[in-house]
Chains A and B, each alone.
Chain A
Amino acid sequence: MRIIFYILTFFITNSAISQSFTISGNIKDAETGEDLIGATVAVKELPGVGTSANAYGFYSLTLEKGTYTLIYQYIGLEELEKSVELNSPQSINVELAQQSIQIDEVVIKGEREDANVTETKMSVTKIDPKDIATVPVIFGERDILKTLQLTPGVKSAGEGNSGFYVRGGGIDQNLILLDEAPVYNASHLLGFFSVFNSDAIKDVTLYKGGIPAEYGGRASSVMDIKMKDGNSKKLGVSGGVGLIASRLTVEAPIVKDKGSFMISGRRTYADAFLGLTKNEQLKNSTLYFYDLNAKANYRLSKKDRLYLSGYFGRDIFGFNNNQFGFNWGNTTGTLRWNHLYSEKLFSNTSIIFSDYDYRFNVSFAENASFSISSGIKDWNFKQDFSWFPNPNNTVKFGFNAIYHTFLPGSIETDDNSIFNSEQIPEQFALEGAIYIQNEQRINDRVSLNYGLRYALFDQLGPGIIKTYDGEGVVTSETSFNNWKSIKYYGGLEPRASLKFQLDNLSSIKLSYTRNYQFVHLLSNSTTTTPTDVWVPSSANIKPQISDQIATGYFRNLFDNAFEFSIEGYYKTLQNQIDYKNGADLILNPDVEAELVNGEGYAFGAEFYLRKKRGDFTGWISYSVGRTFRKFDEINGGKYFPARQDRIHDLAIVGIYNITSRWNVSGSFVFYTGDAATFPSGRYNLEGISVPYYTERNGYRFPNYHRMDLGATYISSKSKKFESSWNLSVYNAYGRENAYTIDFRQSEDNPGENEAVQLALFKWVPSLSYNFKF
């Protein structure tokens, strides 16, 4: 009680300033006109008082009448000071210029140099695609998801894979937002590429814990990706030509300083190499993907701004003149309206569309052709407010409502096919949330971010509730009409984080997060595949719930040139999903009967040391952790390690600028092999040697390690034209890491069994050329 009283007192006294006025406006990059998300505004006369720009570059600061000097900062850009005679509300828009001394070093952009220590947020990783331009990656295609895998607490889903695990959670427990639109399948070509084209991306923030109340919907993490707005000053063209893909981005003002657009495309052409093979079937095969990002924004008035952004991408695979055809992709669209109700109240209204679908065609004989399709479609209305009552409090509140349409699958055939057309009925659901949170600075040492989110999910008719017996046989069916509630779930998600500043250079933080997840990914394979199906929570599938507490120590060294942190976390997971043995997940109307329900937990520690400035930059990231699951039907009801239970995970990244034209980079990763199920015996059946399994995930893959090297040569650099060559080698020392291990009868000696490892990508060199004008 007393604590609440104190908090209220702080809140009230701070807001009861006698005569105060608000300064508000936008902070932009002077060169491109891009909004500077997270740029800070400090008041020279009032140490510790300040604010930062929101996701749209807007800031609002309310101060007592007086004369102040405001300091606008964004790392990598020139600091700007402005004197203000504050005796009326003021609108101040600023543009921060490039630093006059051009340094060719990689600058880690961020809110402010010591943000790591001073912010209340913890368990957050931010990446600016420009910072990672020179980190070596497979096929020379830089990829934000793969760079994130080199940071603490984030693990790769496998060799060259863009899927990831956060703090022991599953791949489907990460909410990936592209300009607020959820992306349901973030991978191209079985996960070897992510759907995010770095050229079109402005900013990526990954929340591993302490997730703010404005986000929700997945059990483990939120990845918030924002596309570039487009250059509002002048026409800009950039692009790259690589061995397997090319990219082109065009951005330009619509009306100078009022609106701009950006359009960015990418297409792979690696399947051109298939023409070199002798195999006729491969010659007639195709395998490629493309994607397109587009965004436009326009300032209607001083108080109103519109944004329209979209993503469209597809993978196309055809085997031997489409005997097998397969294509899949995401489409997202976001329409946003920023409005200033007052200089203290900022509003954003969004209408968001997201669609994922796949289609699979087979025609191996005249009367045996069919096509299978499946997908998920969302319409989302979202309203968010930011209220800046005084410099010590920033309140955010809002709500959203998503209408989901799930297409579990349909099979289409022509008249003379032996296969019957069939459609598993679509399912519908409404997912909603309402939230409020406050970021509160209590004094120079303590700040808090606390919030509450109520999340709800309502499976809607038309639909059927089925009940099943232990063997998966339907025991009852109840039908529901259009818009009738079939099953309702809802729950409160408290969120809180606390920062305690020890001194100027160090702080400790604490956070708690609860998350509900109402949509579930059914996937029986080890990697993300296009045929993975999303299903809603229902009478038979309960929502997943995760609770996480985390604590950390943050310290900067050598005038903020180094950043260091240690974080520890403990997470529990309820209502986890696994599958019965032999579960049929594709086109199964009773797929809910194939699932088993269990629980899990994860804990671990993460160490991070990063050098942000100088000719040599880079980081060391080390995570140690465990993650377990338990299901009554699996492993005799005992806890077993989840596949991603990797224990040790180390990544070292270094970038060195030798001269202003040459830079070299390298990265090294090591992690404990995945937990896996291997046989503990064998037996003979029909003359076949059959493996005998005794426990789930009781064994491990061999440890994984790999080094990548890269070099970049800037061939020309002027205001008008920049170009560079990038050479990289993936898996430079040719380590054969196990991608799969097969236990089988020896081909040479049928009486014997052997373990056969498949390794991909022994070493992969790539060369690309990038330009910008």
Chain B
Amino acid sequence: MTKYFLFILGVMFFVSCEKVIDIDLNDANPQLVVEAELFSGTKDFTVKLSNTSSFFKVEEQEFVADAIVQLIKEGSEPVTLDYLNKGIYIIKDYVAEEDKMYTLSIDLNGVNYTSTTKMPAKVIVDSLTTEFNPGMFGSEDGYLVFMHYQDDPDVPNYYRALFDLNGEPQRSSRDIYILDDNFTNGSNITIPLFIRTFQEGDTIDLSFLSLDDKSYNYFLTLNSIIGNGQPSAAPANPNSNFTNNALGYFAIYNGDTQRIIIEK
């Protein structure tokens, strides 16, 4: 909201201006960052470990290669991930099951970082449709993709949409698209993927996924510091679901992927 006000005020008085400025920032001690995404069904499970670095410094990410990373399904023996490269640990063709609790455990330099998350019930997208949209809220003309699905009225639901555009996964800062059912519980929902508009001929492979409340909360708080959503007066690190102040997340997704090609 505030953005629109400022925009209009700016237009009214022709006065706002942006510029890059120099600010001295401290260098914090490096902190472990975890990126772990477990998809339902049979897929490779990967975990990426890295360290934080100076804010302005242009350098390669510092990867963590010497950690012991284990995945524990409730009631089963731990499975240790193999180190691949560039901070990535992997289990090939892992079978992840619905309604099971999963714990990710990382041992590094004598510190243990863990996170436990439940595989939520699967969300099914009934269909995808497109509609032409003459530029709205400052965006360019193009097609919006609408998702149609039925929200489960009995439980709180949290969703995330991931998509590939013409075969390329889209993972920029504006692509973290999440939804909850706070005000739409139990509805038959039609909602646009309003972060993007597409052009004729585009092929979109859209994965609409459900996730648990803690992972959702992570992306919600992540969005507020990377320029999506309401900017906060007091920015803080996203609410990680790991112990011992590790940054990042362990997210478990359950859903499916549908393809739509934009036609006139």
Interface residues of A (CB under 8 A from B): 189-190, 192, 244, 270-271, 273-274, 277, 281-282, 285, 287, 317, 319-320, 323-324, 326, 364-365, 367-368, 370, 411, 418-420, 422, 523-527, 529, 531, 578-579, 581-582, 587, 643, 677-694, 696-699, 702, 736, 738-745, 751-764
* CA of A744 to CA of B9, assembled, Å: 24
Q: Is B201 among interface residues, defined by CB-CB distance under 8 A?
A: no
B54 proximity list for chain A (CB < 8 A) = 681-682
Q: List 21 A-B contacts (CB under 8 A).
A: A270-B12, A282-B8, A287-B5, A525-B2, A529-B2, A582-B239, A587-B182, A680-B25, A681-B28, A682-B53, A683-B51, A684-B33, A690-B247, A692-B31, A694-B26, A743-B55, A744-B227, A752-B56, A758-B18, A759-B19, A760-B6
| Segment touching A, from B76-84, B110-118, B217-225, B255-263 | B217-225
CB distance from B131 to the nearest CB of A (A): 9
A741 proximity list for chain B (CB < 8 A) = 21, 23
Q: Is B173 among interface residues, defined by CB-CB distance under 8 A?
A: yes
Q: Is B155 among interface residues, defined by CB-CB distance under 8 A?
A: no
Contact-residue bracket for chain B: 35 or more
Q: Would you call A418 and B190 a contact (CB within 8 A)?
A: yes
Q: Would you call A317 and B53 a contact (CB within 8 A)?
A: no
* CA of A679 to CA of B173, assembled, Å: 17
Residue of A nearest to B162 (CB): A686
Proximity string of chain B (33-63) to chain A, C-beta cutoff 8 Å, 1 when within and 0 when not: 1010000000000000011111110100100
When A581-B221, A755-B22 are in contact, do A691 and B227 touch as well, CB less than 8 Å? no
B11 proximity list for chain A (CB < 8 A) = 273-274, 277, 282
CB distance from A731 to the nearest CB of B (A): 9
When A285-B8, A691-B55, A753-B55 are in contact, do A683 and B247 touch as well, CB less than 8 Å? yes
B235 proximity list for chain A (CB < 8 A) = 677, 691, 693
A678 proximity list for chain B (CB < 8 A) = 23, 25
CB distance from A766 to the nearest CB of B (A): 10
Q: Which of B182, B227, B230 contacts A742 (CB 8 A)?
A: B227
CB distance from A682 to the nearest CB of B (A): 5
CB distance from B140 to the nearest CB of A (A): 13
Q: Would you call A762 and B4 a contact (CB within 8 A)?
A: no
CB distance from A157 to the nearest CB of B (A): 11
Q: Would you call A764 and B55 a contact (CB within 8 A)?
A: no
Q: Is B232 among interface residues, defined by CB-CB distance under 8 A?
A: yes
Q: Is B188 among interface residues, defined by CB-CB distance under 8 A?
A: yes
CB distance from A381 to the nearest CB of B (A): 37
A751 proximity list for chain B (CB < 8 A) = 58
CB distance from A7 to the nearest CB of B (A): 48
CB distance from B48 to the nearest CB of A (A): 9
Q: Would you call A691 and B225 a contact (CB within 8 A)?
A: yes
A320 proximity list for chain B (CB < 8 A) = 136
Q: Would you call A736 and B192 a contact (CB within 8 A)?
A: no
Residue of A nearest to B185 (CB): A420
Q: Would you call A764 and B227 a contact (CB within 8 A)?
A: no
When A581-B239, A686-B171 are in contact, do A273 and B55 touch as well, CB less than 8 Å? no
Of A282, A687, A688, most buried by chain B (CB within 10 Å of CB) is: A688
Closest 5 A/B residue pairs (Cβ): A582-B221, A680-B28, A681-B52, A681-B28, A683-B33
Residue of A nearest to B87 (CB): A684
Proximity string of chain B (241-262) to chain A, C-beta cutoff 8 Å, 1 when within and 0 when not: 0000001100000000000000
Q: Would you call B183 and A524 a contact (CB within 8 A)?
A: no
B248 proximity list for chain A (CB < 8 A) = 683, 685
Q: Would you call A755 and B23 a contact (CB within 8 A)?
A: yes
